[in-house]
């Protein structure tokens, strides 16, 4: 098992690469979710403003 984690002597390169990849994927996921939430909020505001304008005119 320790031989697997040693990666044939390349563990110093392989494991940080896996870690960086996992971090980048998580940041990407969180940024996409935040962008989706912001877009939904902007669209909601836009709909409220448009419906408000129609009622007032």
The closest of 36, 32, 55, 57 to 47, measured between CA atoms, is 55
Residue-level pLDDT at 53? 66
| More confident position, 54 or 37 | 37
Q: Mind listing the pLDDT tens digit for each residue in 2-49?
A: 988 899 899 999 999 999 999 999 999 999 999 999 999 999 999 999
Q: Is the pTM of this model over 0.75?
A: no
Measured between alpha carbons, how far is 48 from 41 in angstroms, rounded to an integer?
11
Residue-level pLDDT at 57? 45
Measured between alpha carbons, how far is 33 from 27 in angstroms, rounded to an integer?
10
């Amino acid at each position: 098992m320790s031989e697997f984690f040693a990666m044939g002597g390349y563990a110093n390169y392989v494991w940080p690469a896996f870690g960086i990849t996992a971090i980048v994927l998580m940041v990407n996921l969180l940024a996409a979710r935040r962008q989706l939430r912001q877009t939904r909020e902007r669209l909601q505001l836009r709909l409220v403003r448009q419906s408000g304008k129609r009622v007032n005119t």
